[in-house]
Amino acid sequence: MNRKITLSRIAQKLSEQTGRRARDCEAVLRSMFQIAGNALAEGETVKIKGLGSFKISNVEARKSVDVATGRETEIPAHKRIVFIPSKELAKAVNAPFDMFETVVINEDVLDEELMQAEAAGNEILVNDIQEQIMAEEQRAQAEVEEIREKYPIVAEDAVDDEDPDESAADEVAASVVDADPDRESDLGVNATADATALAESPSASEDADAGGGESMRAELPEYEHPDDEQDSTITTDADDGASVGRRGRWRWYVAGGVLVLCLVVCALWWLNDDFSEWGKSHMGGRAVEATVTDNAILGEANDLNDVSAGQDGMMEDLGGSEVAKVEEDSTEVAPTKPSDSDPVYDTVTDTRYLSTIAKEHYGNFNLWPYIYKENESFLGHPNRIKPGTRVVVPPLSKYGVDPTNKVDIEKAKKLGVEIYARYDNPKMQHN
């Protein structure tokens, strides 16, 4: 690659090829160029069969700018050597692009499409001639074989296949995006892999066509559109895919699909967290509602509806009436009367929160902070008490709290807020 091969090296190769002595070959070549050079120095045109012709052309004087100073100068008239390769040589050197031919563009083809096609054409041209062109041809053929095996339904003619391939690829891509999150790991990856395989197909068939001898024509505009559509459904890295090369493009599709899946998983995880937060919150009206009905305090359910819907002001008022109702409905539930002598225990479960326990024992769920305080030593975040934790329910008299006193209820609420603050401040909560 990019090496400068000397004549001696060439001569060696020639001697291997022709069987003549390397020395002789080199002599012939050197003599040839020497004679040619002499002729050119005389102003003569030299024509070498199979190579081309060298001729002297006159270049007129032209105005220019001196690059250093910036002032105008004139490039004087001079002569230069022009090399026109012979037809055989030109054809031989253009071997990789041999199958293309100049094509007439129809009137109805828009300039935009032409620009796209031109851009596509420029992309087709690779920087390293030998490696990529040859290798791509081989690869494309291998890929086409692979895909034909994989999708036997697909017709042999790659050009006609474009639309079925493409719509199938779109469907698969759509299924990737809409995939059921629970099955995402299996379905999603496979779907992505299939989509990328199909995505390869138009580009592979493009390569195959390049190697197969069809003219470029309006195929180039056509090929651009499938790539664009697929890129938009599967990944946003369209530009990256194109520049990376056909081989590497499918990797970007897979990476994009995996990224989408990760985002979906994360979103679900956060949502789950949210709901469990809600459930365990002592202020969560709906959840408390459910547990209250579970505990068969039917009469209270309606009150709680009102309570949870209302503002703090309302709750204050209703709290009083609610307490009154509790005492009235004592036939339904007998709140255990805490006494100093035997400690009262209760268990926190996934349906019984501190607030439910407070409601039962004290008649007001706002008084849960006192239960918390009593068991502070082993309780962490009030919303995250492990189900099955046994807590001591202290008598209210221990803290001097009167459940009927509005002021005391307010104090309890403040205490609750305080307790939360202890945990919510240092940690970053997603609420």
Decide whether 47 or 247 has the Cβ nearer to other proteins. Answer: 47
Q: Is 128 in the site for other proteins (CB under 8 A)?
A: yes
Closest contact distance (angstroms) between CB of 132 and other proteins is 11
Q: Determine the Cα–Cα distance for residues 422 and 388; give it in Å rounded to an integer.
A: 23
Are the CB atoms for 292 and 356 separated by under 8 Å? yes
Encoded one letter per residue, x for contact with other proteins by CB under 8 A and - for no contact, window 343-372 reads: ------------------------------
Closest contact distance (angstroms) between CB of 265 and other proteins is 45
Q: Determine the Cα–Cα distance for residues 293 and 303; give it in Å rounded to an integer.
A: 12
* Number of residues assigned to the chain: 431
Q: Is 130 in the site for other proteins (CB under 8 A)?
A: yes
| Residue numbers 6-45 binding other proteins by CB under 8 A | 6-7, 10, 13-14, 17-18, 20, 24-25, 27-37, 39-41, 43-45
Figure out which of the listed residues 65, 75, 92, 296 binds other proteins, where binding follows CB under 8 A: 92
Figure out which of the listed residues 93, 258, 296, 314 binds other proteins, where binding follows CB under 8 A: 93
Q: Which helix (H) or strand (E) holds 75?
A: strand 72-75
Q: Determine the Cα–Cα distance for residues 323 and 362; give it in Å rounded to an integer.
A: 9
Paired sense of beta strands 72-75 and 52-59, if any = unpaired
Closest contact distance (angstroms) between CB of 49 and other proteins is 4
Closest contact distance (angstroms) between CB of 116 and other proteins is 12
Decide whether 24 or 418 has the Cβ nearer to other proteins. Answer: 24
Instruction: Give the count of beta carbons closer than 10 Å to the beta carbon of residue 8.
Output: 14
Residue by residue, DSSP assigns 399-411 as: HT--TT-HHHHHH
Are the CB atoms for 161 and 201 separated by under 8 Å? yes
| Residue numbers 184-203 binding other proteins by CB under 8 A | none
Q: Determine the Cα–Cα distance for residues 234 and 196; give it in Å rounded to an integer.
A: 9
Number of residues that bind other proteins (CB under 8 A): 74
Q: Is 124 in the site for other proteins (CB under 8 A)?
A: yes
Nearest one of 250, 220, 207 to 119, comparing CA atoms? 220
Encoded one letter per residue, x for contact with other proteins by CB under 8 A and - for no contact, window 43-82 reads: xxxxxxxxxx-x-x---------------------xxxx-
CB under 8 Å to 193, separation ≥6 — which residues? 254
Closest contact distance (angstroms) between CB of 27 and other proteins is 5
Figure out which of the listed residues 113, 116, 129, 318 binds other proteins, where binding follows CB under 8 A: 129
Figure out which of the listed residues 75, 103, 177, 298 binds other proteins, where binding follows CB under 8 A: 103
Decide whether 90 or 263 has the Cβ nearer to other proteins. Answer: 90
Are the CB atoms for 81 and 56 separated by under 8 Å? yes
